[in-house]
Amino acid sequence: MTPRPAHIVGLGLSCALGRGLQPSLKALRAGQRRTRTLELRGYSEPVRMPYYAMAGEPDDLFAIERFLALIPEAAAEALAQAGLAPDALKRCGIFVGSTAFGVSRAEGEYLEVLGRDPTAAFALPRVGFQEISERLRTACGVGGPDFTFNTACTASANALLAAQRLISLGALDHALVLGLELANRTTLTGFSGLQLVAAELKPFDAQRSGIVLGEGLGAAVLSSSPGSLGLRLAGGASNSDTFSVTTANPDGSSIAALQRTVLRLCGLQAGQVRAIKAHGTASPLNDAGEAAGLRQAFDPLPPVLALKPYLGHTLGACGIIELALLAGALEQGWMPATAGFSQADPALGLTPLLQEAPAPDGAYLLNYFGFGGSNTALVLEKAS
Amino acid sequence: MSGLRAFSHHLQAVGQAPLPPLDEAIRQACREPYRRVDRFIQLALLGAARCGAGLPLDEGCGLYLGSGIGPEGNNIVVQEQICRDHLLPRPFNFVNTLGSSATYFVAKDRGLTAQGWWACRRGATLEALLELALADLALGVCRQALVGVVEECPAPYEEHRLRCQAPAAAVMAEGSHWLLLEAQAAPGGASLALRAGEPAELLEALAQAWAAGDALAFGAQVPPLLQAGVARLVGAPPFGAGLPFHDSLAAARATAWLQEKKKGRLHLLCGGPERLMYLSIQAPA
């Protein structure tokens, strides 16, 4: 059996940079980095942090209705570009990745009952894993099998990889992949408690001190038939790192192993990789592990860029959000510069791409790492 | 047909008394008595440790873990801490809200370093995991796949029943159901195949299986009218009809059938109303 290609035929994006892929690309090229301050009151410790809210959203990011209202937005954009026929849409698989799913809605409903009648309130009034795919079915008319991934910050990257493999095998002709992460109390208080949040996101910088959270939705339509975009998801790989439940091994060993596996599975030599989109969270340990892993697997290193300074860390949605943004830029012929970097860290031996650069045809590698020891790398191919 | 090298089955109905602790069983089955793990992770650890215990796993063995409801007990604690008590969640409680925490501990316990995925489909998680694992075996991504479905049943059970949208009369249960798959079945060994199809075609296959004396069963999302029609046609209840309820009935029925050391084949009509699937399991000769 010859594996079939998985072409990217539609992209959609709603993030801190903008609503829609083209406005987001324009803001990215202009270097826009816009955060607002989020504060949760009434806790034993202060919960106050910068946050990359989606562009154009109102002050109240915790409104219950946001979740269901926003789900179809990026998917509709991607599906409109893909232009699938009605029968193809009915068979189109649904792949969802998130860490928090509908927890914002469940929190809101629980708080509402707690405020009205505490004796009637019970926590977690709904389980949200399936809500996103159900909403996509009703709002967008997508009708194929659904798969929901909860592998922390690799969730939508793994959703992309699973969709690519099922198309490659011939089990599906088309797949809609969606990553979603919206502001919620669990994520904000959880990361606050872990003390991983910084004032500014500075990947690979000597002064980096942690992540800044963000929200957004990204969508891609993959197809066994080419569309108008000259982009293909060539494949990827995933591995498990049991060094720690919250970080990859900082010696870089598991990340280097992942790079080698993805190159082997995609039939690539290290020298053929045009550039690497780093996970680049700006947390001291993550960047140390990623830099060490990249240096072990690539000599010389191709250009390395990081997108989180423009988007925030969108957790389970970053797999598709960062792929959509990079793919959109590559399709226009450019690679984005990395913002937030001013001082090299001699311990890392890695300086990211600091100026926008032309994007030649070829293979681009995208890295994602998450809690639970989940590491995933994808290969995106650009052809004119 | 893919090879079915090993399985494990844990299904515990709940009653008035609390479920028994799992700590001692974990100590006996696992490499170490892990700290800061909740019952969901314990169920995952226990099921994975008992599936092919003593068998060396392939270096590239993939891990596919899922749950229709997820780590519910821990997530309740976290939401109460945040919304009711106005406390920051404890770090390990927060990290364990993610399904991938269970994947981490299973990978650590079984020495797995290859792909570790957590995926689900409400009422049909086994089917979703098998689709992913069988694709990876077919593509050569891995040569072995450890597939597990875990469903927790935290008290109070009536609240859990509402979250699960379980039938009012159903006896609720927790479960941990695991299969160790290989790309090719060994001669005389157990095997497994899964396919999607049109309802008429799958029902025809089911009728032929029944005529050949094989066992039939249903997944949770198969429309009740269809289940009743098939049961009427064959004049006997399907296998596992009396098992207690959790969100992954196909998984519970598949591993319960293997546990009972049945001969022949089990044919499971599963998937959901949008797309029916047909899972057949061949017992070892």
Q: Which tens digit of pLDDT belongs to each residue from B66-110? A: 999 999 999 999 999 999 999 999 999 999 999 999 999 999 999
Handedness of CA B157, B158, B161, B162 (dihedral sign): negative
Number of Cβ pairs < 8 A linking chain A and chain B: 203
A143 contacts on B by Cβ (under 8 Å): 274
- Residue A50's pLDDT is 98
Cβ distance of A162 and B132 shorter than 8 Å: yes
Alpha-carbon gap, residue B268 to B126, rounded angstroms: 12
B135 contacts on A by Cβ (under 8 Å): 162, 165-166, 169, 171
Query: Is B84 an interface residue toward A (CB < 8 Å)?
Result: yes
Handedness of CA A261, A262, A263, A268 (dihedral sign): positive
Nearest residue in chain B measured CA to CA from A243: B108
- Residue B44's pLDDT is 98
- Residue B272's pLDDT is 82
Residues 215-244, chain B, touching A (beta carbon < 8 A): none
Alpha-carbon gap, residue B19 to A285, rounded angstroms: 40
Facing residue for A240 by CB, picked from B63, B164, B274: B63
- Residue B235's pLDDT is 84
- CATH 3.40.47.10 range(s) for chain B read 2-182
- Residue A1's pLDDT is 67
- Residue B243's pLDDT is 96
- Residue B194's pLDDT is 97
Cβ distance of A145 and B78 shorter than 8 Å: no
pLDDT band, very low/low/confident/very high, at B42 (cuts 50, 70, 90): very high
Stretch among A226-230, A302-306, B36-40, B167-171 having the lowest mean pLDDT:
B167-171
Give residue A320's region: left, alpha or beta (phi > 0; psi -120 to 50). Answer: alpha
Mean pLDDT confidence for B49-74: 95
Contact A99, B78 (CB under 8 A): no
Cβ distance of B163 and A125 shorter than 8 Å: yes
Mean pLDDT of chain B: 94
> What percent of chain B clears pLDDT 70, i.e. is strictly above it?
100
- Residue B18's pLDDT is 86
CATH number of the B2-182 domain: 3.40.47.10
Identity of the residue numbered A28: L
Task: Give yes or no for residue B230 having a pLDDT over 90.
Answer: no
Cβ distance of A257 and B113 shorter than 8 Å: yes
- Residue A204's pLDDT is 98
Q: In 10 A of CB A76, how many CB atoms?
A: 16
- Residue A126's pLDDT is 86
Mean pLDDT confidence for B233-255: 92
The shortest C-alpha distance from B10 to chain A (Å) reads 23
Residue B271 CA to its chain's centroid (Å): 13
B97 contacts on A by Cβ (under 8 Å): 186, 190
Q: Which residue has the higher pLDDT, A23 or B165?
A: A23
**Nearest CA to B40 among B10, B73, B15, B11?**
B73
Per-10-residue mean pLDDT, chain A, length 384? 90 98 98 97 92 95 96 98 97 97 96 96 91 97 97 98 98 98 97 95 98 98 96 98 94 98 97 98 97 98 98 98 98 97 97 98 98 97 90
